[in-house]
Amino acid sequence: MEKFSHSVAIRELFEKPGLAELGPKGRVSAFTVHEIEHAFKTSVKSQATDLLRAAASLWNDHLDEAHQIVQDLGNTEASLLHAIMHRREPDYGNAKYWFRRVGDHPSYPAVALEATTILANHPDLRAFQMVASDRWNPFAFVDACEAAALDRLSITSVEGLMTIQGIEMRSLVSAIGL
């Protein structure tokens, strides 16, 4: 997508400290829906700003608001946000449905590259084969998130997954144009 010049306020929505939970639980450090809407109030209405607003909502733990935005957008980035939202909900089957609709997204190579380093430090995550032949496998990541939700992974591995989820969001937001 084309790169856009967005306000500092929009950029800050993705820079607050702390990682998003793998599930629907909110963080104390997350921006409120009102703060997110305020950051976008001077933005020109476009599909890119709608996608960024959905991504900011999702990153700041407002899954319902993100879902309302992406369900009416019909592009690959909206499908990817939709998939991530359902993964966090958690509705793993529906997440995989939306990941199938995404196909091979342009943000995946960056995710694979950065995730490889994290996966090297977490032996119990290697079995999920999230990166194979330098390609990102979002379905394996969904499976790993489900294992985390079922308390089948160590706390440090869950933190590794949360870090990868942050990489996934940064890569997607970059592809959208921020």
Q: Is residue 2 part of a domain?
A: no
Q: Is residue 43 part of a domain?
A: yes
Please spell the DSSP secondary structure of 41-82, one letter per residue: TTSPP-HHHHHHHHHHHHHTT-HHHHHHHHTT--SHHHHHHH
Q: Is residue 3 part of a domain?
A: no
Q: Which two tokens stand for residue 73?
A: 């957008």
Amino acid, res. 161: L
pLDDT score for 140: 98
The answer to whether 118 touches 160, Cβ cutoff 8 Å, is: yes
Q: How far is Cα 99 from Cα 142, in angstroms, rounded to an integer?
A: 10
Spell out the per-residue pLDDT of the chain, length 178, in tens.
444 445 788 989 998 778 999 999 999 989 999 999 999 998 888 999 999 999 999 999 999 999 999 998 989 999 999 999 999 999 999 999 999 999 999 999 999 999 999 999 998 998 999 999 999 999 999 999 999 999 999 999 999 999 999 999 999 999 998 7
Q: Structure pTM?
A: 0.94
- Domains contained in the chain, number: 1
Q: Is residue 105 part of a domain?
A: yes
Percent of residues in the chain assigned helix, strand, coil, to nearest 5: 60, 0, 35
Q: Is residue 21 part of a domain?
A: yes
Q: Is residue 26 part of a domain?
A: yes
Structural domain span for residue 122? 8-176
The answer to whether 114 touches 167, Cβ cutoff 8 Å, is: yes
